[in-house]
Structure 1
């Protein structure tokens, strides 16, 4: 099988920093290429080659300042070539042009969130039209699959899901556990600095945690397209009088070290979290994990088996209780984090993701 993957127009593959969608594309392609030919087409930026060949993966990069020019350049580059299947990641609006160029080729949309099938990015009517043009729609969680079927019943028969994965060799526990007598308690968060990620809830929870554990501090990895929101978060941290370190964008190669720098990972998502790859990375890294019980997160974190879930995730107090329980009960924290690592190794590898995706495309 020769698979073409069309990446979004914003970030090159592989991504220099951030770019979770582009990172997923690259990791999945690497695994599929052990048995199949894969071509990725993505955004070109200065200092990136126009073409890279990595084993059986060919990456072609084209310029494009916006979706329209990028898509036009993509079509020009791939027109007239043969592919057995075309996968479009996170851009349902691309399907129409790609289908016109390849009317007899099966086309799938791989969705990583609800963002590009919902306002303000698109209308529900337009999303339905775009999704209907695809032969297959793949979500990254059962939760996202159910959301698609519920909101777009006319295309429900086309919808499937495949969980994402993690590099279990790259993301691994630190070799020496910090002793329970250690005075530091470092809380980690990783993700975009946007309102729906729930960082203000986490900051207020950290303030409550510090009443029981005065040494508690917060480290945040992630960037934002809106400097004003980061300024608001810094002002909030100052008003709450909590120690917060903003690490900014952390490279993919730097993330394993970031996870190993903490004692606990918290994912306080306030909106629908389709999958939550950061949770899988944290669990693979041996971190006790606390997260909102929403979206696809409960498919990864099983409460009191491999982490703790917060049902009332709007409440800082609800989060603080779970965070304190991990800090006070290191035996429980170690037991759950060990099980988390085992569960990730068994269920959430990139090899498993690639195998399931290929099975869908071949059948």
Structure 2
């Protein structure tokens, strides 16, 4: 059987969490059926065909490729230009089963131009998705976000398709090199934020953590921020402005971000928005690092019990208190480590995700 995935981001693109999700899903699905991807961004692999970046050309050529491949299943993700080819193909081939998968959090439109664009998208996607057999979201919170901020009405059946961790544990020599390069001091207590430099809602979370260093009475507290994102320089300036520049480590892009995870003491997943279910968060749970996380978006769908992680509002004093509570209770940290590892292994795996997707295709009528 053949599956075509129509996707903005390819397997070798700069697609962040969407790319990682797709990589792991495809790798697991390939054990069961033939998979082809039609992509706009990234260097194509042997199972991918790269189409033009122009969205109208992409839409037309994706439809042409579907007619050539004649798949039984189509999974679309990434926007109207990925959804329309599947809809049109199904209109000619009613037995084909098509599913749309939402990954991305929507912010509220701020300008008149954004509001007009969002209104057009609302009517277009409401109509197009009504022709799909099923619409899936990577978290329940994302469905609410899409309907609230994009105002798209989901008229089709819908469901949730959680991602899962695929944790790559670093070697000891990688850990030692990281410690040397960034002068990790065993007398300090390191908070960690993964990928908070790339998106605006996450940048605001990084600012809260930087402010936490200023407000905390614990002078040993420091912060590690991974990834070279478009807000890195702004965050460096913010740390300097607050007088905590020497307490914030900006690592840039790491081949394996979990080198930083294993060097840190507490993982702080602080953000103003998290529509999906963060794969980085699941992997940190899999490693067993104690967690303080914002109670927003899909995060409470991963952290369901206080011993799996401490959920907080984005108030600086609340974060300071949560960090203090953990640092003063090493036994609690060990208990949380065991419970979070067990929870993530019990609830999430790529085999379960792939099985749910295939069952969804087969159950479509």
Displacement of 1:341 in angstroms is 0.9
RMSD: 3.0
Taking the aligned partners of 1:96 and 1:4, their CA distance within structure 2 comes to 14
Distance 1:101 1:223, change over 3 A: farther
Bigger mean CA deviation after superposition, 63-72 or 239-248: 63-72
Structure 2 unaligned blocks of 5 or more:
176-184
Question: Residue 92 of structure 1 contacts residue 116 of structure 1 at CA under 8 Å; is this kept in 2?
Answer: no
Give the equivalent residue in structure 2 for 1:216: 221
Distance 1:69 1:246, change over 3 A: farther
Taking the aligned partners of 1:339 and 1:75, their CA distance within structure 2 comes to 47
Matches within 5 A, 1:83-102: 83-102=71-90
Distance 1:338 1:117, change over 3 A: same
Give the equivalent residue in structure 1 for 2:261: 259
Question: Residue 105 of structure 2 contacts residue 273 of structure 2 at CA under 8 Å; is this kept in 1?
Answer: no
Displacement of 1:146 in angstroms is 4.4
Question: Residue 302 of structure 1 contacts residue 308 of structure 1 at CA under 8 Å; is this kept in 2?
Answer: no
Question: Residue 283 of structure 1 contacts residue 344 of structure 1 at CA under 8 Å; is this kept in 2?
Answer: yes
Give the equivalent residue in structure 1 for 2:106: 115
Moved over 4 A (4+): 116-119, 146-154, 171-176
TM-score relative to the length of structure 1: 0.83
Question: Residue 308 of structure 2 contacts residue 336 of structure 2 at CA under 8 Å; is this kept in 1?
Answer: yes
Question: Residue 4 of structure 1 contacts residue 87 of structure 1 at CA under 8 Å; is this kept in 2?
Answer: yes
Query: Do residues 68 (structure 1) and 65 (structure 2) align?
Result: no
Bigger mean CA deviation after superposition, 349-358 or 110-119: 110-119
What secondary structure, in the 3-state scheme, does the structure 1 residue paired with 2:257 have? helix
Taking the aligned partners of 1:302 and 1:27, their CA distance within structure 2 comes to 24
Taking the aligned partners of 1:25 and 1:206, their CA distance within structure 2 comes to 36
What secondary structure, in the 3-state scheme, does the structure 2 residue paired with 1:80 have? helix
Taking the aligned partners of 2:305 and 2:146, their CA distance within structure 1 comes to 26
Question: After superposition, what is the alpha-carbon deviation per residue over 1:43-82, rounded to whole angstroms, capped at 9, x for unaligned?
Answer: 465xx4x541xxxxxx223143343344444334443221
Taking the aligned partners of 1:247 and 1:66, their CA distance within structure 2 comes to 34
Displacement of 1:343 in angstroms is 0.8
Taking the aligned partners of 1:117 and 1:353, their CA distance within structure 2 comes to 30
Give the equivalent residue in structure 2 for 1:80: 68
Give the equivalent residue in structure 1 for 2:179: none
Give the equivalent residue in structure 2 for 1:202: 209
Give the equivalent residue in structure 2 for 1:183: 187
Q: 1:126 aligns with which of 115, 119, 124?
A: 124
Question: Residue 92 of structure 1 contacts residue 117 of structure 1 at CA under 8 Å; is this kept in 2?
Answer: no
Give the equivalent residue in structure 1 for 2:22: 25
Taking the aligned partners of 1:174 and 1:139, their CA distance within structure 2 comes to 37
Distance 1:204 1:348, change over 3 A: same
Question: Residue 205 of structure 1 contacts residue 320 of structure 1 at CA under 8 Å; is this kept in 2?
Answer: yes
Query: Do residues 335 (structure 1) and 318 (structure 2) align?
Result: no
Give the equivalent residue in structure 2 for 1:284: 286
Taking the aligned partners of 1:130 and 1:248, their CA distance within structure 2 comes to 40
Taking the aligned partners of 1:185 and 1:18, their CA distance within structure 2 comes to 32
Q: 1:106 aligns with which of 93, 97, 119?
A: 97
Question: Residue 286 of structure 2 contacts residue 341 of structure 2 at CA under 8 Å; is this kept in 1?
Answer: yes
Question: Residue 226 of structure 2 contacts residue 253 of structure 2 at CA under 8 Å; is this kept in 1?
Answer: yes
Taking the aligned partners of 1:323 and 1:67, their CA distance within structure 2 comes to 46
